Structure 1
Amino acid sequence: MLKKGFWIGVGLFILYAVGIWWYLFYASPQEIPNAIRGSVADPNTFMTNQEIELSYEYSRLKHFFFFIITPFEWILYAVIIIFPLSKTFKQWANEITKFKFFQVMIYVFAFSFTLFVTMLPLKWFSYQISISYGVSVTPFSVWMRDNITSFLLNYIMLVAIALWLNWIMNRSPNKWWIYSWFLSIPFTFSVIFIQPVLIDPLYNDFSTLQNKELESEILSLAQEANIPAEHVYEVKMSAKTNSLNAYVNGIGPNTRIVLWDTTLAKLNKGSILFIMAHEMAHYVYKHVLLGVSLSILFSFIGFWIVGKIVKGIKERFEESLHINGNNLLVLPIVLMIFSILIFISSPISNYVSREMERAADSYAIELTEDKDAAISAFQQLTTSGLSEVQPPTLVYWFRYRHPSMLERIGKLSYMSEEKSFTNQK
C-alpha cells in the first residue's frame, strides 16, 4: 500500500513539474503595465534588451529549480522511509558499534549523506545556470567547499535533533512535540546570536570597511538608529557573485552591519547609504525579534501538526515502516513533514516579510531624503542580479520576501512625481 502510494506520488510530481514549467514559460509572459511604461520602474529605461531577455530566462529557470528541488527532496525522504533505507542505515550502525551515541552518529551520517549526494546534481545544475548567465562567478572548488561546510553543519544539527528525539519520544510518546517546541526557542535565539561571528565567516572573508569616510557616515546613521555597532564590515563576495547585497544581523553586542564588496564597487555613496538605512530600519523596528517571535508561534502549530501526524503514522504503519520501538527511524518522517509544512506556509511568511521590507523602505527614504539614490539602488540591484521587476503571481507568493522591484521603484517614482507637482504649485 505504501509503495503504491509512493509511485502515485512520483507520477504526481512529474505532472507537477510539467505544470510548473508550463506556468513559468508559457502561461506567465513578462508584461509591464501600461501605467509604468517609460517610467523609471520600466526595465526598458535602465536595462538593455539583452539584459531584459537574460533576466527573463535566468529568473524563470531559477524559479523552476526552486519549485522542483523541495518536492524532489520529499520523494527522497519517502524512498528512505518506505523502501526502507532507514532501517538499513540503522542496521549498519548497530553492526558497527554497540554504543547508542555512535549508532545515532552513524545512522544520521548515512541518512544525511544519502540526501546530500542525491540532491547535489540538482544543486549543481542550478549553480551552472547562475554561472552561465554571469550572475555567479564562484569557482567550482569554492562552491563545493561551501556545500560540504553546509553538510557538516547540518549533520551536527541533525545528530543533536536525533539524540533528542530518540530520548524524548521514549520518555513522553504523546507530548514529545511540545517539549521539542520548548527546546527550539532557545536554540533559535542562540543561532541568531552566534551566526554573525561563528557561522558566516565559515563561508566568506570579513574585514572592517576600508573606506573610513563611508564607514563614518554609515555609523552616523547607525547612531541615529541606536544600533550598537562600532564598525561596518565588508565581505568579499566579488569572488563568488556579481549580485549586490548588504544587511544588518545579530542581536545585541553581536550585531553586525555588513556590505558586500560588489555593492561598494557598483553603487554610489547615496545609494549605499540608502541601502544601509533600509537595513538599519529592520533593527529600529525590531523586525528580527518580531520575525523570531512569529516563527516561534507558527512553529508551535507546526510541532503540534507533526506530533499528530507522527502519532497517526506510528499507529497505522509502525510494522510496515519498521519503526516499532525504534524512535530513531522517525527522524526522516519528522523532517519530511516539517519540510512540507514550511513550503506550504511560505506565502504567509513571505507576506509578513514583504510588509517589513515596505516599512524599511519608507524609513530609509525618510532618513536619507534621497529618492533618486533609492531608485538608482533598486535599478542596479535588478540589473546585477538579472532579477525580474514583476514576477509571476505564484513566484511572488512562494519566493518573494521583498516587494517586487516594480512595486519598490514604482512607489519611489510616484513620490518623486508627486513632489515635483507640489513644487510646481
Structure 2
Amino acid sequence: MRRWLTAAVLGYFLYGLFIYWYLFLSSDGSLPQYLEGTPADPKTFLTGRELLLSEEYSRKKDFLFFLTAPFEWFIYLVLLITGLSGKFQKWAEGTARYFIVRVAVFWFWVSLLTAALSLPVHYIGYGLAKEYHISTQPFSSWMKDQLIDFWIGYAIMTLLAAVLVFLIRKYKRRWWLAAWILSIPFSLFLMFLQPVLLDPLYNDFYPLKDKELEAKILQIAERADIPAEHVYEVNMSEKTSSMNAYVTGIGSNSRIVLWDTTLQKLKENEILFIMAHEMGHYVMKHIYVGIAGYLLLSLAGLFLVKQLMEWLISFRGKRLQLDSPGQLAALPLFFLLIGVLSFASSPLTNAVSRMQEKSADMYAIEMTGDKEAAVRTFQELAKSGLSRVNPPELVKQFRYAHPTMAERIMYMDGWTVPEEE
C-alpha cells in the first residue's frame, strides 16, 4: 500500500512539474510574426496592463486546470489502495437492508470525502478569478453554488451507481451494453430538464428585457426558419464580468440564452452576430450531432472500462482490495477509469466542437453580413475574459472547445460577405 501511495504521489508531482515547465517555461503563446499588427494581435485592442494580466491569468488558470483534472482520479485511487472504499461498503451494508439505501449511504461517504478534499482546490480557482476581477461573486454565493453542485451531483451519481451495480451483477458479460442503452434516454431526459429545472437553481432566467433588440433577434430567427418566441437573459453579472451566450436544452425546452454582461458590454450589431452564431448551432443541429457523438464515445468507453476493470481486478485485485466489479467498493475504480478516458478523448471532442463553432461563425457572418462587428465581438470576448488569443498547443487541444480567438478573428477578418442576388 505504501509503495502504491508513494508511486501515486510521485507520479502526480512529476506530472505537475511537467505542466509547470510547459506553461511557464517552455511555451510563450506568442503570435506568429505574420499576424503582428493584424486585428488578431492583442496589442491592437488591449492595453499593456491588460496584456500582462491576460498572460498571467491564462497561465495560472491553465495550470490549475491541468492539476485539478486528475485530482479526483487520485482521490479515487487513494480510496481503493487504502481500503477506505471497502470500509465505506461495510458501513453501508451494516446500516441498511435495502440495496438502494446501501448505495446511497456508500456514495454519500465517497462524495463527502471527494468534495471535502476538492473544496480547497475549487477555492483556489475562485480566488484566482476574484484576484483578476473575472469573478464578481461573493463568497456566500459561491459556497451556495458548491452546495447545490454537491447535492445535485450526489443525487445523480447515486442513481447512476445503483443502476450500474445492478447491471454488473445481473449481466456480468454484457453489462456495459445494457448501461449504454439505458444512458441514451437518461442523457436526453437530463438535457430536456436542464434549462427548466437545473439551470434556474444557480441563476435567474427571464425573457430579454430589451424588446426592440429581441424583435431584431427574432427577425433573424424567422429568416433562419427557427420557431423562436423568446430570447432569454440570465443575470450572470452577479457572478462574473466575462461574457457568453449559448444554446441549451432539446425539443420544446430548447433555449437561446444571453448573459446580461454580454448585453452590457457589446453593441447591438455585435449582439446580433452572437445571436446569429447561436442560431447557426440550432439550424445545423449541432446539439443532436453532439449527442450522437457522445453516445458513440460512451459506447466505446464503457466497453473499454469493462475490460480494464476485469483486468485490474484479476491481476491487482488484492492491492486494490477488490474481488469483483459488482462490489460497491469497485465504484471508485469505475469512475476513475471513466475520468481518465474522458480526459484522454477531450482533444477529439474539442476538435469536433471547434469545427462546429467555426461553421456557426460562418453562418452568423452570412446572416448578418457584418464582419467588423464579428471581429470586435471576439476582441471584446478576449478582453473581458483575459483570454490569450493564441494559447499553447497543449492547452488548445485539451481546453478549447472553440477555435482560438486568433483563428476566429483572422478568418472573420478575411471573410468576404457574398453579395445578395
TM-score (norm 2): 0.96
Letter in 2 for 1:84: G
Give the corresponding residue for 2:293.
Answer: 294
Per-residue deviation, 1:316 = 2.6
Letter in 2 for 1:335: F
Is the Cα contact below 8 Å between 2:81 and 2:321 reproduced in 1? no
Q: Kindly provide the CA deviation profile for residues 61-93 of structure 1, in whole angstroms up to 9, marking residues without a partner as x.
A: 010011000212211110011101111111222
Q: Does 1:349 align with 2:342?
A: no
Letter in 2 for 1:124: Y
Is the Cα contact below 8 Å between 2:88 and 2:329 reproduced in 1? no
Per-residue deviation, 1:324 = 2.7
The secondary structure found in structure 2 opposite 1:238 is helix
Give the corresponding residue for 2:175.
Answer: 176
Per-residue deviation, 1:115 = 0.4
Letter in 2 for 1:55: S
Is the Cα contact below 8 Å between 1:94 and 1:103 reproduced in 2? yes
Q: Does 1:413 align with 2:410?
A: no
What CA distance in whole angstroms lies between the structure 1 residues aligned with 2:147 and 2:128?
20
What CA distance in whole angstroms lies between the structure 2 residues aligned with 1:94 and 1:191?
30
Per-residue deviation, 1:223 = 1.9
Give the corresponding residue for 2:93.
Answer: 94
Equivalent pairs counted in the alignment come to 418
Per-residue deviation, 1:26 = 1.2
Letter in 1 for 2:374: A
Most deviating of 389-398 and 9-18: 9-18
Is the Cα contact below 8 Å between 1:229 and 1:255 reproduced in 2? no
Per-residue deviation, 1:248 = 1.7
What CA distance in whole angstroms lies between the structure 2 residues aligned with 1:164 and 1:323?
19
Per-residue deviation, 1:177 = 0.9
The secondary structure found in structure 2 opposite 1:57 is helix
Give the corresponding residue for 2:391.
Answer: 391
Unaligned runs of at least 5 residues, structure 2: none
Letter in 2 for 1:236: N
What CA distance in whole angstroms lies between the structure 1 residues aligned with 2:44 and 2:192?
42
The secondary structure found in structure 2 opposite 1:213 is helix
Letter in 1 for 2:290: G
What CA distance in whole angstroms lies between the structure 1 residues aligned with 2:317 and 2:131?
47
Letter in 2 for 1:356: Q
The 5 Å alignment of 1:24-423 reads: 24-324=23-323, 327-415=327-415
Q: Kindly provide the CA deviation profile for residues 220-239 of structure 1, in whole angstroms up to 9, marking residues without a partner as x.
A: 11222222321111100001
Q: Kindly provide the CA deviation profile for residues 1-45 of structure 1, in whole angstroms up to 9, marking residues without a partner as x.
A: x65234223212111101111110111113122211112111111
What CA distance in whole angstroms lies between the structure 1 residues aligned with 2:314 and 2:97?
28
Is the Cα contact below 8 Å between 2:232 and 2:256 reproduced in 1? yes
The secondary structure found in structure 2 opposite 1:134 is coil
Letter in 1 for 2:256: I
Q: CA RMSD for the aligned pairs? A: 1.6
Give the corresponding residue for 2:13.
Answer: 14
Letter in 1 for 2:176: W
Letter in 1 for 2:114: L
Most deviating of 256-265 and 225-234: 225-234
What CA distance in whole angstroms lies between the structure 1 residues aligned with 2:216 and 2:360?
19
What CA distance in whole angstroms lies between the structure 2 residues aligned with 1:37 and 1:28?
18
Per-residue deviation, 1:257 = 1.4
Is the Cα contact below 8 Å between 1:234 and 1:260 reproduced in 2? yes
What CA distance in whole angstroms lies between the structure 2 residues aligned with 1:342 and 1:396?
16
What CA distance in whole angstroms lies between the structure 2 residues aligned with 1:338 and 1:318?
18
Per-residue deviation, 1:100 = 2.5
The secondary structure found in structure 1 opposite 2:313 is helix
The secondary structure found in structure 1 opposite 2:126 is helix
Is the Cα contact below 8 Å between 2:80 and 2:321 reproduced in 1? no
What CA distance in whole angstroms lies between the structure 1 residues aligned with 2:274 and 2:81?
49
Per-residue deviation, 1:413 = 2.0
What CA distance in whole angstroms lies between the structure 1 residues aligned with 2:388 and 2:35?
15
Most deviating of 386-395 and 171-180: 171-180
TM-score (norm 1): 0.95
What CA distance in whole angstroms lies between the structure 2 residues aligned with 1:405 and 1:5?
43
What CA distance in whole angstroms lies between the structure 2 residues aligned with 1:378 and 1:319?
54
Per-residue deviation, 1:302 = 0.2
What CA distance in whole angstroms lies between the structure 2 residues aligned with 1:350 and 1:322?
36
The secondary structure found in structure 2 opposite 1:138 is coil
Most deviating of 155-164 and 88-97: 88-97
Q: Kindly provide the CA deviation profile for residues 163-208 of structure 1, in whole angstroms up to 9, marking residues without a partner as x.
A: 1122112111121111101111111111111111111111111111
The secondary structure found in structure 2 opposite 1:415 is coil
Letter in 1 for 2:389: V
What CA distance in whole angstroms lies between the structure 2 residues aligned with 1:322 and 1:408?
50
The secondary structure found in structure 2 opposite 1:258 is strand
Percent identity (aligned):
44
Moved over 6 A (4+): none
What CA distance in whole angstroms lies between the structure 2 residues aligned with 1:393 and 1:92?
46
Letter in 1 for 2:388: E
The secondary structure found in structure 2 opposite 1:241 is coil
Most deviating of 42-51 and 94-103: 94-103
What CA distance in whole angstroms lies between the structure 2 residues aligned with 1:87 and 1:66?
30
Letter in 2 for 1:363: Y
Letter in 1 for 2:58: S
Most deviating of 404-413 and 109-118: 404-413
